[in-house]
């Protein structure tokens, strides 16, 4: 007897970008290639020692953390998240009603869609974008409207380009600054003002994905949407410990903002999951309230890699624009490779030189013509990648 077919929505989705790239990578490994991997924004340095010690202590000495966790997250963690906003942005957040810890922000994004979006509702996202911002819409009844961001609009969303009939049906407007994959940053809260003014007379929330809040360079400092005086009326802000504390494998993030929306998301999640393991929540408290030198050190590592990559790739004949934040260079295909699709370029470079990038098309239709390069290898490997790239380009 045949097993049932999976849902039409899932069938219609292409494989997740990193799964496609992993296939190329495995083929190259099978042919003996040495791999240098810049595809996924997966921090390669370890979680700071005091955070690891904290999880060991909790799991060893606090058996209450072995039980089902509470749906709303432990109070010390909610306090620590509110404290993070006070310390960094002088914003008051109510830890009891305006914070929800998440099993990583990716989980919380998908479940927010399920919480709020019905058949005829829209989610508006820029494109290219983090895949979970737009692919996930296929898994819920709503529809997606993409706002292209590109060189012509300086990679900024043009909210005026949203047709009125779509704006009227939009429930969630997603912003993401600092931006993945483009590395686009904002100097002030102008786009937050615009988005809130756009949303306030409609039935719409504004969400800023702030996953890269701590990955900034030179004299740049990213603004938060929660600094806006009306943010608590219309907004949510998502964040994650994945990049800020090298805790991607631990699966912990959070959302703050409008209390009613947070309450509804909490209700939805109470039927789906049991929240984050207690020992991981305790370690997250250590991360957020402990010495922040580890975050400073991590920024220095990424900034050193960014500069090394700029130099090495320029020497190979490919000049990239340096990002002021995030883990990513968003690079137009080299002149000699312009005729190729980004996925072809990525596959060829992996198979010939073992250097792994993400194809721009994996971030949506408006990402074609670009690749995303993550700063997740050492400076030494970056220099080696530069040499391989030079050899690759000289043969094109
Ligand atoms: C913009 C953005 N949001 C969310 C995430 C996922 O974060 P988490 O690990 O907390 O699920 C990522 C991961 O790359 C990201 O780039």
Q: How confident is the model at residue 336 (pLDDT cuts 50, 70, 90)?
A: very high
Task: Determine the atom of ligand 1 nearest the C-alpha atom of 179.
Answer: 1
Mean pLDDT across the chain: 96
Closest-CA residue, ligand 1 atom 6, reads 106
Non-local CB neighbours of 244 within 8 Å, separated by 6+ positions: 213, 214, 215, 287, 295, 298
| List of E strands, the chain | 36-37, 99-102, 122-127, 143-148, 170-175, 205-209, 235-240, 253-257, 328-332, 355-356, 358-359, 370-374
pLDDT digits (tens, 9 = 90+) for 110-125: 999 999 999 899 999 9
Give the pLDDT of residue 20.
85
Calculate how far, in angstroms, residue 106's C-alpha sits from the geometric centre of ligand 1: 6
Q: Are 207 and 129 in contact (CB under 8 A)?
A: no
Give the pLDDT of residue 32.
96
pLDDT digits (tens, 9 = 90+) for 224-263: 999 999 999 999 999 999 999 999 999 999 999 999 999 9
Closest-CA residue, ligand 1 atom 7, reads 105
Question: 8-46+294-395: which CATH topology?
Answer: 3.90.1150
Q: Are β-strands 355-356 and 170-175 bridged in parallel, bridged antiparallel, or unpaired?
A: unpaired
pLDDT digits (tens, 9 = 90+) for 270-311: 999 999 999 999 999 999 999 999 999 999 999 999 999 999
Give the pLDDT of residue 23.
94
Q: What is the assigned CATH class of domain 49-289?
A: alpha beta
What residue spans define the domains of the chain?
8-46+294-395, 49-289
What sign does the CA torsion over 101, 107, 110, 115 have? negative
Does the pLDDT at position 158 exceed 80? yes
Calculate how far, in angstroms, residue 206's C-alpha sits from the geometric centre of ligand 1: 17
Q: Is 104 near ligand 1, meaning CB less than 6 Å away?
A: yes
CATH topology identical between 8-46+294-395 and 49-289: no
């Amino acid at each position: 007897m045949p097993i049932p077919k999976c849902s039409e929505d899932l069938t219609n989705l292409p494989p997740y970008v990193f799964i496609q790239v992993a296939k190329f990578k495995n083929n190259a490994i099978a042919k003996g290639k040495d791999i240098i991997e810049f595809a996924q924004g997966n921090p390669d340095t370890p979680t700071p020692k005091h955070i690891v010690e904290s999880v060991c202590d909790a799991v060893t000495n606090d058996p209450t953390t072995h039980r089902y966790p509470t749906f709303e997250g432990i109070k010390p963690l909610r306090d620590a998240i509110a404290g993070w906003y006070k310390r960094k942005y002088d914003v008051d957040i109510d830890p009891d009603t305006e914070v929800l810890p998440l099993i990583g922000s990716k989980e919380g994004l998908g479940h927010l869609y399920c919480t709020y979006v019905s058949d005829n509702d829209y989610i508006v996202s820029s494109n290219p974008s983090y895949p979970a911002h737009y692919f996930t819409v296929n898994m819920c009844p709503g529809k997606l409207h993409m706002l292209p961001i590109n060189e012509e609009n300086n990679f900024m969303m043009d909210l005026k380009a949203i047709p009125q009939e779509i704006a009227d049906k939009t429930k969630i407007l997603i912003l993401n600054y600092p931006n993945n994959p483009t590395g686009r940053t904002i100097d002030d809260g102008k786009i937050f003002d615009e988005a809130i003014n756009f949303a306030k007379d409609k039935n719409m929330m504004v969400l800023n994905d702030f996953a890269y809040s701590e990955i900034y360079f030179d004299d740049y400092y990213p603004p938060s949407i929660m600094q806006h005086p009306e943010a608590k009326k219309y907004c949510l802000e998502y964040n994650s410990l994945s990049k800020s504390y090298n805790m991607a494998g631990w699966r912990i993030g959070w959302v703050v903002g409008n209390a009613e929306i947070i309450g509804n998301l909490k209700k939805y999640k109470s039927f789906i999951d049991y929240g984050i393991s207690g020992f991981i929540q305790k370690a997250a408290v250590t991360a957020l309230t402990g010495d922040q030198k580890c975050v400073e050190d991590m920024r220095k590592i990424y900034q050193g890699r960014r500069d090394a990559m700029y130099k090495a790739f320029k020497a190979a004949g490919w000049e990239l624009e340096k990002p002021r934040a995030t883990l990513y260079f968003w690079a137009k295909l080299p002149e000699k490779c312009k005729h190729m699709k980004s996925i072809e370029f990525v596959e060829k470079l992996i198979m010939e030189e073992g250097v792994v990038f993400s194809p721009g098309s994996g971030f949506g239709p408006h990402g074609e013509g670009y690749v995303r390069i993550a700063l997740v290898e050492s400076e030494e490997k970056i220099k080696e990648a530069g040499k391989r790239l030079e050899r690759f380009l000289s043969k094109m």
